[in-house]
A = this chain, B = another copy of it.
Amino acid sequence: MTAAIAIAMRTDKQEVSPLAIFANGQTIYSDGEKCDWAYRVAFGAVSLYRVLACGRRQIVSFHLAGEWFGIEQGRRRQFTAEAIGPTGILCANLAADQCSALLPAVLDALWSAREHQLVISRQSSHERVAAFLLEISERTQDKRRFDLPMPRADIADYLGLTIESVSRAITRLKCSNAIRLVGPRGVEILDRDRLRSFCD
């Protein structure tokens, strides 16, 4: 957490502090820090990741507008949280008595984590990318036409692939007319069923 933001948050003792704004690539919290706060994305996106001993980075989850992250009561941070593009974050104090509000968010996170396990352990590169596009689609406003908040490198580190494999898979989905690209970030789903059929 950068100093400026930490001060901004500490000035507000309410349950939910005002918006804290992070620039692209800025760290919200780091692996190993104490867990004092839970967070919610107001706008933009956040990635949770760890850099492994071998130097590779694994992103375990993305969090889009409206979604909670960083609920890890009574522990040290398991991962680093980083803003993807300009991102607004709402902060909530991690008091024990709020568990009734936090439990659903944690159950959601567990649900997502396990669905993601299915994707990254057994699926081919095309299946992973197709599943990823559908996943993002379901979590954004316009489910047909949306912009990926993150670069290919982040998608690759999330899906356990290389940038090249992600690119090739996207190209193939494009050539099959399941999707259309609007620049590198814009995605339009032309045939959701066909896209789904790529998910095995």
Residue positions of A touching B, CB distance < 8 A: 50, 52-54, 56, 58, 60-61, 71-75, 78-79, 96, 99-100, 102-104, 106-107, 109-111, 113-118, 120-122, 159-160, 199-200
Q: How far, in whole Å, are A114 and B60 apart by their CA atoms in the complex?
A: 7
Contact partner of A103 (CB less than 8 A), chosen from B61, B79, B99, B111, is: B99
- Name the residue on B nearest A159 (C-beta): B121
Q: How far, in whole Å, are A102 and B99 apart by their CA atoms in the complex?
A: 9
Interchain residue pairs with CB less than 8 A apart (17): A54-B200, A56-B122, A60-B114, A60-B117, A71-B107, A72-B107, A78-B111, A78-B114, A78-B115, A96-B100, A99-B100, A102-B103, A116-B117, A117-B117, A120-B121, A121-B121, A121-B160
Chain B residues with CB below 8 A from A109, complex form = 110
Q: How far, in whole Å, are A96 and B99 apart by their CA atoms in the complex?
A: 11
Copies in the assembly, this chain: 2
Given contacts A58-B117, A100-B96, A113-B117, contact A107 B73 (CB under 8 A): yes
Contact B107 A52 (CB under 8 A): no
Chain B residues with CB below 8 A from A122, complex form = 52, 54, 56, 58, 160
Instruction: A58-B118, A78-B114, A99-B103 given; name 14 further pairs at CB < 8 Å.
Output: A50-B118, A52-B200, A53-B200, A61-B114, A71-B107, A73-B103, A75-B111, A96-B100, A99-B99, A106-B106, A106-B107, A110-B113, A113-B114, A122-B160
Q: How far, in whole Å, are A53 and B109 apart by their CA atoms in the complex?
A: 23
- Name the residue on B nearest A79 (C-beta): B114
Nearest CB of chain B from residue A100's CB, rounded to whole Å: 5
- Name the residue on B nearest A113 (C-beta): B113
